[in-house]
Amino acid sequence: MKMQSLRDGNYYACKQMKQRFESIEQVNNLREIQALRRLHPHPNILTLHEVLSKFAENAKSFFRKENHGRRHPLSEKKIMYYMYQLCKSLDHMHRNGIFHRDVKPENILIKDVLKLGDFGSCRSVYSKQPYTEYISTRWYRAPECLLTDGFYTYKMDLWSAGCVFYEIASLQPLFPGANELDQISKIHDVIGTPAQKTLTKFKQSRAMSFDFPFKKGSGIPLLTTNLSPQCLSLLHAMVAYDPDERITARQALQHPYFQEQRATEKQALASHRRACFPEHPVAAEPLRAGWQMSKEGRKQKQSLKPEEDHPKRQGLAYIMELPKLKLSGVTKLSSYSSPTLQSVLGSGASGKAPVLRPLKCVGANKKVAHVPSSSEGAAPGPLPRPRLNVIFL
């Protein structure tokens, strides 16, 4: 319902729930509430502003009901504008793991900008099949929803969007079936019977068997003469019978039909960036001059002859010889397996490398016995742990 708030005077879309809830926790656990919060913010999806309890009794104190305006034919430029926004909303939903399952004109609100609403039938893309069979309004229900036991995917939203596409262009429904069998018949009258592989795919998930007589199909009726060939191309891609061959929302946004919308959106984004991040040509000149000076200085340095000639190797670079270090107080290296430790620690009295033993930690209240040195006639004890100095060049 279109309602007007008495507090701020703005118009809002209001949905009255038929189910009764005992607590606010039950409301927050609704799939529709969680989906709206997860998809926020997006310019083409309704924003959840408030959840009112006991709406039936207190409706008069918050809102004033307004009648909907009459439908009127739209130009192809307007149709392109609105369908681009509808595909953007579906792409945002599908990339966030949600598909709507009830896309129809009654759930689309337009006031300068198109917004998709009523997420009461939405479902997670990653939830386990089969889903609910009787879903979506009949005129906008995809063939896989009619011919399988709930084995359908997010591609059903693209079929519904294609039906909406045709309806806003012609003001007439594309497949106005009176019941499910008549709905299938209306689809076959326009598109024709599907290929045998598509029917076999549907039969694998259906308890009952079905066979349809071959029908070529009359094609999508051209009730409006101002639709371009690119418009009809996108419409045929959205209502493809086989869901595996049906276009996705992301692919639809890249269709040539929306080339003008993409260019306009790109230009608006560039203008927004220039407004938020203005350029400073005055400050850029010194930086450019400094960059030129640095480049010239680097060229001069490269042109100078180096003091020492280094042997060059074939390739992009050559290895330079590192300067030799002059270390004092270090024993000359010998042919031990661990030359670094041997040169630093030295050798013991017997000529062998000393064995490093762990130090024992002694408490503060205990006395340490005096260990005589080797000059006093006692056996030589463990050498003190050396201090290693690491120098990074």
Q: DSSP states of 11-38 as a string?
A: EEE----SS--SSHHHHHT-HHHHHHHH
Residue among 102, 157, 182, 211 flagged as catalytic = 102
Mean pLDDT of the chain: 74
> For 198-249, what is each residue's pLDDT tens digit?
888 887 766 567 778 888 888 887 665 668 889 999 999 999 999 999 999 9
The strand pairing partners of 123, in sequence order, are: 99
Tens of pLDDT, residues 81-130: 999 999 999 999 999 999 999 999 988 888 888 989 888 888 999 888 88
pTM to 2 decimals?
0.58
Is omega for the bond preceding 130 within 30 degrees of 0, making it cis? Answer: yes
Fold of 10-51+73-265: Transferase(Phosphotransferase); domain 1 (1.10.510)
pLDDT digits (tens, 9 = 90+) for 116-173: 988 888 899 988 888 887 777 899 999 999 998 889 999 999 999 999 999 888 888 9
Which residue is it, tokens 């000059």? 375
Name the maximum alpha-carbon separation found in the chain.
117
Q: Is 157 a catalytic residue?
A: no
Domain ranges of the chain: 10-51+73-265
Q: 259-276 vs 76-95: helix axis angle to the nearest 10?
A: 70
Q: What is the pLDDT of residue 135?
A: 76
Q: Return the pLDDT at 314.
A: 53
Q: Read off the pLDDT of residues 72-83 as tens digits, 9 standing for 90 and up.
A: 668 889 999 999
Residues 19-69: pLDDT tens digits?
776 666 777 778 777 788 778 878 888 787 777 655 433 333 232 233 344
